[in-house]
Amino acid sequence: MRLLLVEDEPTLADSIRRGLEAEGMSVDHELDGQDGLWRAREGEYDAIVLDIMLPGLNGYEICRQLREDEVWTPVLMLTAKDGEYDEADAFDLGADDYLRKPFSFVVLVARIRALVRRGLTARPSTLTHADLTFDPASMRCQRGDTSIELTQREGAVLETLLRRSPNVVPKHELLDSVWGMDFEGDPNIVEVYVGYVRRKIDRPFETKTVKTVRGLGYQIAAAT
């Protein structure tokens, strides 16, 4: 497994690099955002571990430019910032996962392996299903010509289901994707938010876009 680490704190970067190499991974490291973007474009990596606050070019901009260039290498963003909107920004720009500092190295390794198992997945800017459209960056959601207002969290749930369609998304994977693997609250929050999404995108239109697959999870099946 070949990784790119873009982190400007030398001590932390060295610790992460040595730890990942001990796990059998090959790691290239860049301290600067500009160099990190060049390396990410030119190299062939299984995943990128990307700090947000970088000299030269921040992690948000690196991720945005990579996705505009259709470089779909999975990106895990690291940050010392703590806020729901920072996390939403990361996902809106094309990141695949998000980890706040300080973090557990065991969790970091688990998330990297999970990203690599998913493989390269194109992340189109606007997601569609039949007459439903959703743009995660602008949070613009429509059913036909009717606008639907979603919260950031509702949008993250809908985005995850649309991107994984027609696959069934297990409850624990939806929890990890939207709330993060370090979430310590009630896991039943998933059912609550799936219900919120249904009440907005399905019930007023007498449709059943979001389906519960008993014992497995949730699904937006392929449009027919």
Q: Is a pLDDT exceeding 60 seen at residue 83? A: no
pLDDT at residue 86 in the model? 54
Residue 167 has pLDDT above 70, yes or no: yes
For the chain, give the longest Cα–Cα distance: 56
What is the 3-state secondary structure of 126-140? CEEECCEEEECCCCE
Q: Specify the pLDDT at position 131.
A: 94
Which residue from 86, 92, 99, 221 is spatially nearest to 165, judged by alpha carbons?
221
* pLDDT of amino acid 222: 75
Q: pLDDT tens digit string along 115-166?
A: 887 766 566 668 899 999 998 877 899 999 999 999 888 998 998 899 888 8
Mean pLDDT within 83-87: 50
Residue the block writes with tokens 């919260």: 151
Q: Does the structure show a pLDDT above 50 at 85?
A: no
Query: CATH 3.40.50.2300 residue ranges in the chain?
Result: 2-118
- How far apart, in whole angstroms, are the C-alpha atoms of residue 103 and residue 41? 27
Task: Identify the CATH homologous superfamily for domain 2-118.
Answer: Response regulator (3.40.50.2300)
- Summarize the confidence of residues 53-67 as an average pLDDT: 89
pLDDT of the residue at 89: 59
Of the options 1.10.10.10, 1.10.3720.10, 1.25.40.10, 1.10.630.10, the CATH number for the domain spanning 127-220: 1.10.10.10
Query: Is a pLDDT exceeding 70 seen at residue 42?
Result: yes
pLDDT tens-place string over residues 179-209: 876 677 888 999 999 999 999 999 999 999 9
Q: pTM for this one?
A: 0.58
Residue spans in the chain of domains classed CATH 1.10.10.10 = 127-220
Beta carbons of 82 and 101 less than 8 angstroms apart: no
Q: Is the pLDDT of residue 82 over 60?
A: no
Residue 132 to residue 90: CA distance in whole angstroms: 24
Q: From residue 97, how far is each of 100, 124, 148 by CA, in Å?
A: 10, 17, 26
| CA atoms within 13 A of residue 61's CA, in its CB half-sphere | 13
| pLDDT over 70 percentage in the chain | 88
pLDDT, residue 122, reads 60
Q: If DSSP codes are grouped into helix, strand and coil, which group holds residue 4?
A: strand
pLDDT, tens only, 95-114: 778 888 888 889 899 889 88
pLDDT band at 84 (very low <50, low <70, confident <90, very high): very low
CA distance 30 to 18: 14
